[in-house]
């Protein structure tokens, strides 16, 4: 491994803050290149300050490019987080020729389940209706997320109820979501083991319908899925992804799993950040390859290489 500069060493030490209350992360975001994207911030997709999003467009992308779109939801245990902390994620996807949308959503105690899913669906509806003017393809929206955000994305992918309620019509495939990308997601976490989660999800007798895995194999159209797991994760049991992959496979869905032996919960996400990619692992490369195999982006990472 190359010798790390002082800023990179500091960035590595700051990674655990990705899950804490010390955001935003000016150190990591300050090391992200600014020439790979153009950002449009503070776009309202609903009423209130928690219903806003930022769009990251690859630098030089043609307005009619019809680039793939990644709608990214951050984690934070459904009670914390801010889209401004995730500039590094928006830049990561934009650097690979994708239009990235990073959305806020309301969190506990302001709301409980399923309000944050309704917000996530409203953000998707905004992307479907507006992303073409940023050079994105409204028919190729991939939902992605880390931790609690992966849960939100999975529920949109596997339970059509939320997108239907938001007015999103399915595409030609019978589904609105082109693909699902989950980083260290909780997909099958009953019974609950904390008072806070019980408050968020409805008490000790929480319905299995709150779980993404429940909605697989019930006749719902299933998008291709990529499940990414740090094998040193002690925050979300990697078994969540293993069980979901098995059920998706049994239902006949396309599913890929990627395991990173040296990454934990936070470092799996940190691997997206430009200053850390070469040190943590090929998380961004694996996501790009997944979308490329689905016809999303070509082998090049420059905007000119985007496949239509």
CA distance 280 to 273: 10
Please report the pLDDT score of residue 51 as a whole number. Answer: 98
Confidence of residue 88 (pLDDT cuts 50, 70, 90): very high
CA distance 264 to 283: 12
Q: 278-281, long-range: CB within 8 Å, 24+ apart, which pairs? A: 278/2, 279/1, 279/4, 279/8, 279/12
pLDDT of 239-283, one tens digit each? 999 999 999 999 999 999 999 999 999 999 999 999 899 889 999
Sign of CA dihedral 114, 115, 120, 122: positive
Any idea which of 61-65, 84-88, 298-302 has the lowest mean pLDDT? Answer: 298-302
Please report the pLDDT score of residue 13 as a whole number. Answer: 52
Confidence of residue 296 (pLDDT cuts 50, 70, 90): low
Phi, psi values for residue 91, rounded to 5°: -65, -35
Total count of domains within the chain: 1
DSSP one-letter code for 282: S
pLDDT of 101-130, one tens digit each? 999 999 999 999 999 999 999 999 999 999
Is residue 258 assigned to a domain? yes
Please state the rounded mean pLDDT for residues 175-198. Answer: 96
Q: Tell whether the model's pLDDT for residue 44 goes beyond 80.
A: yes
Is residue 3 assigned to a domain? no
Q: Tell whether the model's pLDDT for residue 306 goes beyond 60.
A: no
How many angstroms separate the Cα of 50 from the Cα of each of 69, 81, 156, 276, 291?
21, 10, 19, 29, 29
In terms of pLDDT, which residue wins out, 2 or 209?
209
Confidence of residue 35 (pLDDT cuts 50, 70, 90): very high
In terms of pLDDT, which residue wins out, 303 or 103?
103
Please report the pLDDT score of residue 172 as a whole number. Answer: 79
Confidence of residue 203 (pLDDT cuts 50, 70, 90): confident
**Average model confidence (pLDDT) across the chain:** 90
What is the longest distance spanned by two Cα atoms in the chain? Answer: 53
- CB 49, CB 121: distance < 8 Å: no
Q: Tell whether the model's pLDDT for residue 220 goes beyond 90.
A: no
Is residue 179 assigned to a domain? yes
Is residue 12 assigned to a domain? no
Q: Tell whether the model's pLDDT for residue 237 goes beyond 50.
A: yes
Please report the pLDDT score of residue 14 as a whole number. Answer: 52
Half-sphere exposure of 270 (CA within 13 A, CB side): 27
Confidence of residue 142 (pLDDT cuts 50, 70, 90): very high
Q: Tell whether the model's pLDDT for residue 173 goes beyond 90.
A: no
HEC-encoded secondary structure of 54-100? EEEEECCCCCCCCEEEEEEECCCCCCCCCHHHHHHHHHHHHHCCCEE
Please report the pLDDT score of residue 295 as a whole number. Answer: 63
Is residue 10 assigned to a domain? no
Is residue 284 assigned to a domain? yes
Structure tokens, 32 = 């992200």
CA-wise closest residue to 68 among 102, 103, 39, 101: 101
Please state the rounded mean pLDDT for residues 41-46. Answer: 98
Is residue 9 assigned to a domain? no
CATH for 265? 3.40.50.1820
Please report the pLDDT score of residue 278 as a whole number. Answer: 86
Is residue 23 assigned to a domain? no
Residue 49's domain spans which residues?
28-300
């Amino acid at each position: 491994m190359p010798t790390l500069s002082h800023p990179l060493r500091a960035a590595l030490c700051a990674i655990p803050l990705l899950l804490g209350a010390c955001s935003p992360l000016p150190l990591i975001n300050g090391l992200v290149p600014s020439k790979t994207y153009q950002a449009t911030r503070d776009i309202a997709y609903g009423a209130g300050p928690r219903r806003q999003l930022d769009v990251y467009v690859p630098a030089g992308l043609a307005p009619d490019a019809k680039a793939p779109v990644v709608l990214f939801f951050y984690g934070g245990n459904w009670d914390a987080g801010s889209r401004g902390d995730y500039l590094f994620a928006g830049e990561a996807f934009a650097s690979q020729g994708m239009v990235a949308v990073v959305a806020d959503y309301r969190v506990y105690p302001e709301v409980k389940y399923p309000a944050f899913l309704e917000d996530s669906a409203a953000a998707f509806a905004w992307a479907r209706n507006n992303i073409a003017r940023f050079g994105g393809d409204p028919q190729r929206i991939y939902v992605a997320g880390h931790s609690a955000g992966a849960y939100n994305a999975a529920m949109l992918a596997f339970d059509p109820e939320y997108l239907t309620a938001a007015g999103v019509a399915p595409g030609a495939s019978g589904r609105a979501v082109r693909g699902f990308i989950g980083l260290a997601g909780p997909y099958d976490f009953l019974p609950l083991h904390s008072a806070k989660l019980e408050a968020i999800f409805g008490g000790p007798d929480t319905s299995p319908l709150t779980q993404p895995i429940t909605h697989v194999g019930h006749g719902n159209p299933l998008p291709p899925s990529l499940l990414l797991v740090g094998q040193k994760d002690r925050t979300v049991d990697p078994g969540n992804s293993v069980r979901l992959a098995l059920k998706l496979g049994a239902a006949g869905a396309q599913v890929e799993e990627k395991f990173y032996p040296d990454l934990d919960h936070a470092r799996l996400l940190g691997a997206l950040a430009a200053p850390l990619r070469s040190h943590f692992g090929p998380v961004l490369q694996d996501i790009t390859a997944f979308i490329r195999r689905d016809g999303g982006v070509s082998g090049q990472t420059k905007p000119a290489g985007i496949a239509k």
